[in-house]
Structure 1
Amino acid sequence: MKNLCAFLLLVAIPGFAQQSEGISWRALFEIHDARDRVSREARISSRLFQQSPERSNIWRRNRYGNGTTGNKKWTEEIHLNAEKPETLIFITNEPAEYDRLVQSLTSGNEVSNAEGQGFQMLETKTFPSGRTMSSFSKGSRLVEVLSNQKGGAREWIFQLSKTETAAPVAAKDQTPPEITIIEPKLAQTRSLVEVKLSRVFVKVKVTDDSGVRSVMMDDKAVKPDLDGTYNAVFTLPPNLSQKTVEIRATDHAGNVASVQVILKSPAQVPLSAGDEADFDDIAQGRYYALIISVQNYQPGIQALSNPHKDGEALSKVLLSRYKFNPSDVFTLKDPTVAELGQALEKLKANLTKRDNLLIFFSGHGEWDEKIGQGYWLLKDAEPQNQATWISNSTVKDYIRGINSRHTLLVTDACFGGSISTKGTDDAAEKKIYKLPSRIAITSGNLEKVPDNSVFMKYFLERLRENNSKYMPALTFFSSFYTAVISNSGENTPHQPQYSRIDNTGHQGGDFIFTLK
């Protein structure tokens, strides 16, 4: 009897009925061609969509089935527009459904139990934000597909409309994409580039009239950054003095372009007596640390599990192995914006030009794409209220006001890389450690990172294993960078960053970890 009740309950609630069959183009075209709104709504309802109680023009249904990552649940929507009755919008957030619909739209044969429609692709555009829009036509019918990022997840919007005359068929594109190298700058004029660091930042711009389908660097797919460029970091092991990086771009017409950059590193030079003297001089100053961990938040912001544990582990290794005294290590657990400001003001008042400062932050981070600004979320942060968040520009103002010799900022938070500037620093490469430095090491660039941090695992592990009396932050970073990338997994890729923090007083030096 219980099983029968459960079955009746499922049938009685169409929006939650188990759906295994995806909507077909024939069904969408029938809805689109209906003579009036009442007819359209009847056809939509017959496909087990339910009208939204908040907005009468939106219809939704839940789907259960095999997605790209196994059995899962996802949502589909149909939107009607009273002002533009000639248009119809269908939305899905399941990649497998997007692939099925696009494949059956352009195929002339039956694909995945859906009748092929034989539509012709007109064009594909890639926007600076990384979104893409593709247009398809057949006769007077036009279908536009927009790939959109919503709330950290990808969704695909299919808009159906009609033209008065048949849309023109685009000529076959036979022009490959154009690849422009931005960094290393020397690679713009020569194929062999001698670099001074074992870690090299490569950045390119790719343009194509039909849109860019993919960019590969060393056979690894690279996603576009927020400014539309593509970048990756390559590490040259000590036993490898030369590395060839192949950059390959493919457009939506299948045309391929490729360029090669040959990176050559000089022989490894051991520390000189002058370097050791610089280190000894730096070690005379005091070492301060401000360790900030936030894992308990206001309602509406997901709590985290590991920031306090990671902060405690960092404090322990700094105090036990490195030249940090207990009176100079400050720990803030779940601070408010005001409490963090007070702690930074205290450091500003007490540190001198001979002192060194390490600031660590673990917690939630956010990114405002419209203004290009990153944020830290502290305990009193409110969802969707940036006035209660602390911006990267504010953090940089505090760092600029602290009169230390070297300041190292380490962040393990989403979008942490937004606070720093990508690229190399000639002065740091020359080991001018006496010069002031403002350096950031972040667990990622402009992407989300998981709570269970691979970055922190290897960060702490290398601090515990280090036996060098003096260890520059760049050397330290290079020791765990490859391990983080190799062990972060395909679904949660980490791309740690080491870079200067501009407009804070950086002059080319580097933070030095000094053993006791």
Structure 2
Amino acid sequence: MLAGWPVAPAQAAVRNAEDLMIVDCLLPGQIRKLGRQATYLSARRPVRTTQADCEIRGGEYVSYDRANYQTALKVWLEGAMAGSPEAQNNVGEIYAKGLGTAPDYGMAFQWFKKAAEQGYGRAKINLGFLYEQGLGVAQDQAAALNLYREASGIEDELLYASVVQVEIRAKDEAITGLQAQVAEGEAESAALREQVRKLQQELAQRRSALQQTQTELARTQQRLADARASRDDELTALLENQLLAQQEQINDQRTQLASLERQAGGGAMLASAPRLEILDPVFVATRGRNTAVYRGGPGTRKIVGRVTAPQLVREITINGKPAPISANGAFSAEVEVPAGGAQVQVAAVDTGGVRAQLDFTLLPQAGAGSAPMPAAPATAGTLPRGVKLGKFHAVVVGNNSYRDPAYASLQSAVNDANAVAAMLRSRYGYETTVVHNATRLEILTALNQMRETLKPEDNLLIYYAGHGEIGADGQGYWVPTDGVQGNPKSWVSNAVVSDILNTVAARHVLVVADSCYSGTMTRASVPTFATGAMPPDKWNAWVKAMADGRSRTALTSGGVMPVPDTGSGKHSFFARAFLNVLQDNDRLLEGQRLFQEVATSLALGAMDAPLAQMPEYAPIRYAGHESGEFFFLPKGGAAATGP
């Protein structure tokens, strides 16, 4: 049942949920006249739109359910080769997604780099992510940070302070172990050397073959350009097919090369190490020692943190005293803070005895000691003069009842949806669409309504509460009420939601999912601002830059882990924390601070939750994120100030 507007008139051409899928559509060319004598057909134009819209406009497409990267490339490759940065970025995303084959991050890197060199913001974000994660290119955190900064238009590195955290890593003893094995058996050593020699020889042959194929590709590209110039349609079609085949051959060769290089290097990917993070107090960016500040004077102050994989952590201490770790990874302890601040040391020891340590200075904002913190700027938390955030809209989905008996009925999802919608309407002035116990078609119809009606100056929040799934491919899904267990095609994938968000005109979009949503980047790619750390003019400049940028971010209740349905009265732990933060807020609230306060509230309020719950906040991959932040502004609060 949809509240707020009727379903039927929304899209007359829609027959089923598949009609609302976003596809790469190649629209037909237009018949144009050049003077009175010449009539010609313009080139076909690629767009991303719904399957139904593409059909109505006479376009050519292939549904993603049946597509591979070749069919998607057919739409965008010509424009990419002609130099269009949008097309180049889209080709890069096609290779990075895989679409029926393993992702080719090497090819994705090359196309993102071409688009980024032309100043295309989305490509800079995508390229930065590859550098940050070491995908298709050597890992380079500095290069990633610079690309993120360039995309946002912010030059000050302090506004891109990374999250203060440390990773607990086992010491690398692989080399010592291998040397001992070699010493014990010369025969095994000789065999290994022979294997490496053969692999290196095969690598050289593969590289030579790749170079030859690339040369052939360049020749085909030149012949294709000549054919187009001479308007030889038959030869052009033949060469286009040959070009795609050569691109596929290069893709296969690059994949084989990457596999051989991994074998020759003998490196093995280690499992993700536990990560230790301080949630409260908030760290501020400095060029010296890590510093955290809090509102208030000297006295007792609670430190709240969390650790991933708590089962792998033996002990956490704060200034040498053990801090209890809850089942969900949260921990806290109290520290005495004098007026001049306190030195704090948080240490973690894993089950193997490896220690990680985080040192920082804890300062009160209103202290009167030898190193008092300045008061927060009067403009911090306000909307600077001249900055307009536009209208705010929300689609709120709450699913309690499911047709498939394999999905247990939920108790709090509908209550959560109603409470969130009421909060957004009454306190923040949102126009809300509420969807109760929605089918797949109803969820997609509600999202498509936003795609068709919102303007570039608008803001959109999507809230989902209900069952979630993780597919065999690692993809996250929302389960509609008509979803069938074991049948991903009956669910709503994160990729589908991301594709829809990519085509929504709204400048800022935030997905709040009390379920899994795995299609995100990292928090490092979102600029941060610590109130009190910068003067008012920088606060105003930061808000303006974030308001002008196009953002697509997600706040999730628990990463890719299951989350509890109830636990905080008639609401889930996450929904209660989210509602409390919005209710208590009386100023301009940015997405990063919303996450920080929700995460802190969850760490304290869900200490005894049956499942570990670690919220995440990050840009959404392949949804059109360029820069910027999502903001909440209470009605009648946070008056605009400043120049």
The TM-score, its normalising length taken from structure 2, stands at 0.43
- Counterpart of 2:557? 443
Deviations 1:466-512 (A, max 9, x none): 221x2112222222321211221343222111211122222221111
1:424 aligns with one of 507, 515, 524? 524
Higher relative contact order (CA 8 A, sep 6+): 2
1:261-276 superposed matches below 5 A: 261-262=358-359, 270=376, 276=382
Partners of 2:375 and 2:527 lie apart in 1 by 16
- Counterpart of 1:230? 274
- Displacement of 1:198 in angstroms is 9.3
1:250-329 superposed matches below 5 A: 250-251=351-352, 256-262=353-359, 270=376, 276=382, 278=384, 281-283=387-389, 285-298=390-403, 299-324=405-430, 328-329=431-432
Deviations 1:207-246 (A, max 9, x none): 6779xxxxxxxxxxxxxx9953323432241337975443
- Counterpart of 2:435? 332
- Displacement of 1:249 in angstroms is 2.9
- Displacement of 1:323 in angstroms is 2.3
DSSP-derived class of the 1:281 partner? coil
- Counterpart of 2:500? 398
Deviations 1:22-79 (A, max 9, x none): xxxxxxxxxxxxxxxxxxxxxxxxxxxxxxxxxxxxxxxxxxxxxxxxxxxxxxxxxx
Partners of 2:402 and 2:469 lie apart in 1 by 14
1:36-51 superposed matches below 5 A: none
Give yes or no for contact 1:428–1:508 (8 Å, CA) kept in 2: no
1:380 to 2:469 alignment: no
Give yes or no for contact 1:201–1:423 (8 Å, CA) kept in 2: no
Partners of 2:394 and 2:556 lie apart in 1 by 16
- Give the CA RMSD over aligned residues: 3.5
Partners of 1:280 and 1:317 lie apart in 2 by 27
- Displacement of 1:271 in angstroms is 5.5
Deviations 1:324-358 (A, max 9, x none): 1xxx3111111111111111111111111110011
1:97-496 superposed matches below 5 A: 200-206=164-170, 228-237=272-281, 238-239=293-294, 244-251=345-352, 256-262=353-359, 270=376, 276=382, 278=384, 281-283=387-389, 285-298=390-403, 299-324=405-430, 328-368=431-471, 370-413=472-515, 416-425=516-525, 427-429=527-529, 430-431=542-543, 432-434=545-547, 435-452=549-566, 453-468=572-587, 470-490=588-608, 491-496=610-615
Partners of 2:551 and 2:504 lie apart in 1 by 12
- Displacement of 1:450 in angstroms is 0.7
Code of the aligned partner of 2:397 = I
Code of the aligned partner of 2:436 = K
Deviations 1:111-138 (A, max 9, x none): xxxxxxxxxxxxxxxxxxxxxxxxxxxx
Code of the aligned partner of 2:520 = S
Partners of 1:451 and 1:281 lie apart in 2 by 39
How many pairs are equivalent?
Answer: 304
Partners of 1:279 and 1:198 lie apart in 2 by 29
Deviations 1:87-133 (A, max 9, x none): xxxxxxxxxxxxxxxxxxxxxxxxxxxxxxxxxxxxxxxxxxxxxxx
Deviations 1:230-287 (A, max 9, x none): 2343224133797544342333xxxx2223243579978846769855575233x111
Give yes or no for contact 1:244–1:260 (8 Å, CA) kept in 2: yes
Code of the aligned partner of 2:552 = R
- Displacement of 1:379 in angstroms is 0.7
- Displacement of 1:195 in angstroms is 8.9
Greater per-residue helix proportion: 2
Deviations 1:422-468 (A, max 9, x none): 33235344553221211111111221111111111121112112221
DSSP-derived class of the 1:419 partner? coil
Give yes or no for contact 1:290–1:329 (8 Å, CA) kept in 2: yes
Partners of 2:488 and 2:584 lie apart in 1 by 40
Give yes or no for contact 1:356–1:405 (8 Å, CA) kept in 2: yes
- Structure 1: 5+ residue stretches without partners: 1-180, 187-192, 211-224
Code of the aligned partner of 2:354 = A
DSSP-derived class of the 1:384 partner? coil
Code of the aligned partner of 1:353 = P
1:503 aligns with one of 622, 629, 633? 622
Partners of 1:226 and 1:306 lie apart in 2 by 38
Partners of 1:264 and 1:421 lie apart in 2 by 30
- Counterpart of 1:12? none
Give yes or no for contact 1:202–1:232 (8 Å, CA) kept in 2: yes
Change in Cα spacing, 1:279 to 1:391, as seen in structure 2 (3 Å) is farther
- Counterpart of 1:214? none
Code of the aligned partner of 2:279 = T
Change in Cα spacing, 1:436 to 1:492, as seen in structure 2 (3 Å) is same
Give yes or no for contact 2:168–2:356 (8 Å, CA) kept in 1: no
Deviations 1:405-424 (A, max 9, x none): 111110112xx242322332
DSSP-derived class of the 1:346 partner? helix
DSSP-derived class of the 1:282 partner? coil
Partners of 1:184 and 1:246 lie apart in 2 by 27
DSSP-derived class of the 1:424 partner? helix
- Counterpart of 1:168? none
DSSP-derived class of the 2:409 partner? coil
**Identity across matched positions, percent:** 26
Greater per-residue strand proportion: 1
Give yes or no for contact 2:167–2:356 (8 Å, CA) kept in 1: no
Give yes or no for contact 1:353–1:403 (8 Å, CA) kept in 2: yes
Code of the aligned partner of 1:286 = K
Partners of 1:227 and 1:340 lie apart in 2 by 36
The TM-score, its normalising length taken from structure 1, stands at 0.53
Give yes or no for contact 2:347–2:358 (8 Å, CA) kept in 1: yes
Partners of 1:303 and 1:509 lie apart in 2 by 38
DSSP-derived class of the 1:427 partner? coil
Change in Cα spacing, 1:376 to 1:205, as seen in structure 2 (3 Å) is farther
